[in-house]
Structure 1
């Protein structure tokens, strides 16, 4: 049971950068689709792609389906005509086989559509918003209280926001306190900027660390029993039994967890941190990283052989219950219940290797970065978004900042 909860904790605590690590080896059971006001978009060139948890769509065809017109796309800037007005969007663009792709949520928001995800049919749904600002079918109520703290020092203000790295549309809209604090921010701080996940350098790093380079395969590094169980679960998911043979146990574990959570509608594309990253890109707000892709990947890669297999086996044995367990974590976030979050965090202290790597060491590093922001004396505001479980407990960021003399106020 401990390893099962531990595996889920990894999925929601780290920034979800492994969601698509094994993508070249996997074939999705069903191609994602896009519907605009109940009309399926027919793509003549290209098709929607789930890339590292972000749904990318062919730019020109999707804008046309939303009655918008692409004028030009250069670098990370989109120029379009929406409702007869010239609009400039800042967004990460990706070119696949000569077709330019962009995140569907960025396009939908700009064109005045409510964007949601139907996990059962694997369909992105865009519906025109009503005059009140909500979609024709959506209820405009906050998705939950969430977690946020405020720290002030030397004229600087830091808001500490707890994220769920995978989420669904029920989390939105966020409570006004989040949006108001973000609107005044000079910087957005995140664990890592996952909008860069598709960059060639990051993909190369994932493959270098996550794949075996010595000619061996996954079956050479885990027990025969674990390997056989993995094959059965992959077949259950509509994949080949050997689909993950090239990858190390920690990549296989994360891939299984991500596959199952996605079927329940929880994806990195709806995560709290990516939501604010996309808004920061639109505002041209500087994004600072408290960690790095290399440090997060290295943490997983440096787990002992025993811990990697234990976590993988937990993901296999509890595959059918992963979505229900993430539901529980989602409710903890929405309720903003500090006591339940603390109980969850403390439940992992029994495994010294895991707890030290996932929480203790990382929390110290992030708290030191935040301390530096508070001390720079530039009268700036930082909006920091990291996994919610990093904040509470004896080794949490809140306690570490308090030990440095700061007053941390729950909002």
Structure 2
């Protein structure tokens, strides 16, 4: 399955949010826009939060000058996962371990006949036989589906903001702290096994037709610096079903709380630049909101 392995190796580590949220994060920064940055201060200590994208297009080859300045100015960098420390072999080993169905189980057994037929048709059109996924968890198919669509649209991890920030920090010999491990990130999708796995996969299939229109709205809102509209678009996508609430708790709210517990002691010790997916920095469950509630002064500086 060389094509499947290539897709996983190139794109899997970019999936840190539920399907729509991930679309939101990926298109939220363009070269013509100034990325959102917040200064977080208390007792004379200044650290920074920057919203990133995990993949991008050819127009995003250069880091925003303000981000480059902050990498130099701060003492350390905190990211979701420092992928520069993970080999392709380790990534594939962990992915294989986490995405396999239990022994004796098949995708056809797990999915309804209607969903299975839709999935089979989609991957057939993409040149991937469904047999390549027969022993994979449904969420693995949803992530592969998304990676195919983003590749069609011209997006690649090669242009992701995260990797550029990490590369800049490595060049300057800055310490890089991973807030999670790659294995932990894949482990979040364990919650989408069983009935939730089919819902997650259907979300991916249903969002395909809306990607172009939604992308246009997100890009235009971001170019204007209109984070209120960006948040509204995300909230409108959440149907408040059991699945949506579960996804938001696991992939956004709970992670932000864990990250805050790690970041606050860092902020008290030395200036830190935090670069995480943009969705983690907007709304009432965001890191920005959590730091404000904890008594830190949080000001958007770009």
Go from structure 1 to structure 2 and tell me whether the alpha carbon gap of 1:353 and 1:51 turns closer, same or farther (over 3 Å shift): closer
| 1:274 maps to which of 163, 166, 185 | 163
Q: Indicate whether 1:198 and 2:87 are aligned.
A: yes
| 1:364 maps to which of 254, 257, 261 | 257
Q: Is the 8 A contact 2:77 2:272 kept in 1?
A: yes
1:331-350, aligned counterparts within 5 Å?
331-347=220-236, 348=238, 350=240
Q: In the TM superposition, what is the alpha-carbon distance from 1:188 to its structure 2 partner?
A: 1.4
Structure 2 match to 1:298: 187
Q: In the TM superposition, what is the alpha-carbon distance from 1:288 to its structure 2 partner?
A: 0.5
Structure 2 match to 1:307: 196
Structure 1 match to 2:211: 322
| 1:381 maps to which of 249, 271, 283 | 271
State the SS of the aligned residue for 1:393. Answer: coil
Q: In the TM superposition, what is the alpha-carbon distance from 1:183 to its structure 2 partner?
A: 2.0
* Aligned-partner Cα distance in 2 for 1:330–1:368: 32
* Aligned-partner Cα distance in 2 for 1:308–1:166: 24
| 2:119 maps to which of 213, 230, 239 | 230
* Aligned-partner Cα distance in 1 for 2:86–2:224: 30
Q: Deviations along 1:387-409, whole A, 9 cap, x unmatched? A: 11111222111111011100001
Q: Is the 8 A contact 1:257 1:322 kept in 2?
A: no
Go from structure 1 to structure 2 and tell me whether the alpha carbon gap of 1:174 and 1:353 turns closer, same or farther (over 3 Å shift): same
Q: Deviations along 1:193-219, whole A, 9 cap, x unmatched? A: 123443433432221111124132221
What is the TM-score of this pair, normalised by structure 1?
Answer: 0.62
Go from structure 1 to structure 2 and tell me whether the alpha carbon gap of 1:196 and 1:369 turns closer, same or farther (over 3 Å shift): same
State the SS of the aligned residue for 1:302. Answer: helix
Kindly indicate whether structure 1 or structure 2 has the higher relative contact order, using CA contacts under 8 Å at least 6 residues apart. 2
Q: Indicate whether 1:52 and 2:10 are aligned.
A: yes
Go from structure 1 to structure 2 and tell me whether the alpha carbon gap of 1:222 and 1:295 turns closer, same or farther (over 3 Å shift): same
Structure 1 match to 2:4: 26
1:90-105, aligned counterparts within 5 Å?
none
Structure 2 match to 1:394: 284
Q: Deviations along 1:38-58, whole A, 9 cap, x unmatched? A: xxxxxxxxxxx994249xxxx
Q: Is the 8 A contact 1:191 1:386 kept in 2?
A: yes
Q: In the TM superposition, what is the alpha-carbon distance from 1:172 to its structure 2 partner?
A: 4.5
Structure 1 match to 2:154: 265
Superposed CA RMSD in Å reads 2.6
What is the TM-score of this pair, normalised by structure 2?
Answer: 0.83
Go from structure 1 to structure 2 and tell me whether the alpha carbon gap of 1:146 and 1:50 turns closer, same or farther (over 3 Å shift): same
Go from structure 1 to structure 2 and tell me whether the alpha carbon gap of 1:25 and 1:353 turns closer, same or farther (over 3 Å shift): same
Structure 1: tracts of 5 or more residues without a match: 1-22, 29-48, 55-140
* Aligned-partner Cα distance in 2 for 1:235–1:27: 17
State the SS of the aligned residue for 2:133. Answer: coil
Structure 1 match to 2:106: 217
Q: In the TM superposition, what is the alpha-carbon distance from 1:334 to its structure 2 partner?
A: 4.2
Go from structure 1 to structure 2 and tell me whether the alpha carbon gap of 1:327 and 1:191 turns closer, same or farther (over 3 Å shift): farther
* Aligned-partner Cα distance in 2 for 1:50–1:211: 14
Q: In the TM superposition, what is the alpha-carbon distance from 1:349 to its structure 2 partner?
A: 7.3
Q: Indicate whether 1:148 and 2:37 are aligned.
A: yes
Larger radius of gyration: 1
Q: Deviations along 1:316-344, whole A, 9 cap, x unmatched? A: 24435435534544444444321123213
Q: Indicate whether 1:404 and 2:294 are aligned.
A: yes
State the SS of the aligned residue for 1:344. Answer: helix
Structure 2: tracts of 5 or more residues without a match: 13-29
* Aligned-partner Cα distance in 1 for 2:177–2:76: 7
- Structure whose residues are more often strand by fraction: 1
